[in-house]
Structure formats: structure tokens, C-alpha cells
Amino acid sequence: MQIGPFTIAPPVLLAPLAGITDLPFRRLVARFGAGLVVSEMVASQEVVQAGPLARARAELGFEEQATSVQLAGREAYWMAEAARFVEANGAQIIDINMGCPAKKVTNGYSGSALMKDPDHALSLIAAVVGAVKVPVTLKTRLGWDDGMLNAPDIARRAQDAGIAMITIHGRTRCQFYKGAADWRAIARVKAAVTIPVVANGDIVDAASARAALAQSGADGVMVGRGAQGRPWVLASIAADLFGAAAPVIPQGAALADIVLGHYHDILQFYGVDLGVRVARKHLGWYLEVAGLAAARAEIMVLNDPAQVAVRVRAAFADARQVAA
């Protein structure tokens, strides 16, 4: 799959997840194997004007593969300025968020709320594309609600404005994450454009990825919540569907090493006080995937990194099987 000068191989992408796909997690997923990793959503005006935390969220940190930084906003000026900022700081691909369903985003007329005003949405797209030399992509949904399924028209206009790839989450905004993603509806977007289309929503393993590709006709898949606690799942999908090298799924002590390596990276990135809190959700997902409910309840309340390390090693010592 081609995005500007970049060949995305395998075409299995990590979705932007606010508060989750920060640099430590992106780095870990990329190490297992992914065609592209996308940053958590960055508010355009905030990243230009605010302090170091907002800028840290846009930090790229590695050079081994194409990295995409996702921008959100409602004003063309700030979207363009943010695009210039992240390009200057090393972003190789910029993604525009037009799919986030969260009320705090849509109430500000950003994210998926832009689907209600395609003309305004296109002005933002044109501003970003015109501001940078790197490829610009778009992530959106099927529409605002069942009465406004305008993703094919928006995709066509976005392509004409210079968008290099579009990712479609197979739900409307008003569905949030309820029900099942409609991969067949993504086929209408695929038919409307010639640029690559990526299917997103409910893709958690090779079987769901295969079904999503078959029903949508998409060029690739994007995995979001399915990677929580399983940073190797993108590589597993890539191996099953696209012939990439199969990852070694860590077990026992090796799994503890992965978890604690991720934990250490989070503490280094955020500092210990904030990092301990940020890391809890990741520890919880790892322990949940491994079926370690009792250990999860105990570890999630610990604040001392040394105690966390001891308990994680003890918990995973007997964890013999983790789902791929």
C-alpha cells in the first residue's frame, strides 16, 4: 500500500487512540511489526501554543519506519500551523481526525462533528495539505448518523484536495462503539476513490481482519482496541494475511520482560509520578489478556515501581498461554 513516497508493508496499521498510542506504546507495537503506527490525537492549537506535555504527545522518537501524527481541530489556521510544527519535528505522515466520537471533541465541532459540515471539513483538509510537503491522510466514520452516511462523498472530495489515504471506521458517530462495525459499508468509500482505503473497527485478530478486507475491499486494516494488552497482534495479523514474519508471542518470564520493559519506558517518558498512573491501564490489559484477575486487582493499586516489578514477575511466571 502506497502513501506518497512510503510503501506501507504490511498494510496493517495501529489506530490512533487518545491516551494510549503514545510514544512508548507505538515503539513497542512497531518493534513487533506494523506497517504504520499513528500517534494519539493531538489538538492542533494546543500543540502549537501549549507546554511540553502536548508537544511530548507529538514526539516521534524513532526512525525505523514511517510514523503518522494525527491532528484534530476546527480552525484551518491552527490545523495548518500544527501540521507545520509536527512536520518540522519529524512527522513523515500527517493524519486528520474526522472520526473521534467523544462529546468533548464533537462539542467543539472537531472530530466526527466535521462530517456534518463537509465544506468546512474540506477547508481544513486543504489547509493542512497546502501547509506541508509530507503526505496527509484522513480518518473518519461512515457518517454522523444513519441519516447522514456521507463518507463516500467526503472521501471523493478529500482525494481531490490531495489526501493520500483514507481510513474508515465502520460505524457512524452516533453509534460510538456500540453494535458491530459495518465493513460492507466501507466498500462504498472504496468504490468512490482511487487512493488507498483502510478498514477500521472491530478488527482484533486475523479472522476479523480477513473478513473486514473481504467485505470492504479495502487495501489494509487498522487495529485499535484489539492491540490493548497484545502489542504483537498487528504482527500476527500481518503474518497470517500478508506473509510477514510471524512474531514470537511471549510467555511466562518473556512476557514479564515485555510488560516491564513497556512499564519502564512509560516511566521514562512521563516521569515516575505521572507514569505510574498512565501505566496502570496497560498493566491491567496485559493481566486481563493473560487471565490473571487476582494479580490484576493487586497490582493495579501499587504505586512503587519496584513492587510492581516484583508482582508482575510473580504473576506471569505461571502464565503459560496468551492469546495471539
- Give the Å distances, CA to CA, from 126 to 38, 122, 165: 21, 6, 14
Contacts by 149-153 with C-beta closer than 8 Å and gap 24+? 149/185, 150/115, 150/118, 151/115, 151/185, 151/188, 151/189, 152/188, 152/189, 152/191, 152/192, 153/118, 153/192
- Cell numbers for 141, please give them: 466514520
Is 116 annotated in a binding site? The answer is no
Is 70 annotated in a binding site? The answer is yes
Question: Looking at this protein, which amino acid is placed at residue 55?
Answer: R
**Cα-Cα-Cα-Cα dihedral sign, residues 9, 47, 273, 60:** positive
- Cell numbers for 185, please give them: 459499508
Is 139 annotated in a binding site? The answer is yes
Q: Which of 121, 122, 105, 116 is nearest to 144 (CA)?
A: 116
Catalytic residue among 100, 218, 256, 278: 100
- Between helix 233-242 and helix 206-216 the angle, nearest 10°, is 60
Taking the chain, what is the end-to-end CA distance rounded to the nearest angstrom? 25
Is 178 annotated in a binding site? The answer is no
Whether 174 is catalytic is no
**Cα-Cα-Cα-Cα dihedral sign, residues 179, 183, 189, 191:** negative
Contact 73, 103 (CB under 8 A): no
- Between helix 305-316 and helix 272-289 the angle, nearest 10°, is 10
- Cell numbers for 301, please give them: 493499586
Convert 33-66 to b/e letters by CB count within 10 Å (16 or more is b): bbbbbbbbbbbbbbbbeeeeeebebbbbeeeeeb
* Cα maximum dimension of the chain: 56
- Give the Å distances, CA to CA, from 261 to 178, 269, 291: 33, 12, 20
Q: Which residues are annotated as a binding site?
A: 70, 139, 169, 224-225
Q: Which residues are annotated as a binding site for FMN?
A: 70, 139, 169, 224-225
Known catalytic residues are 100
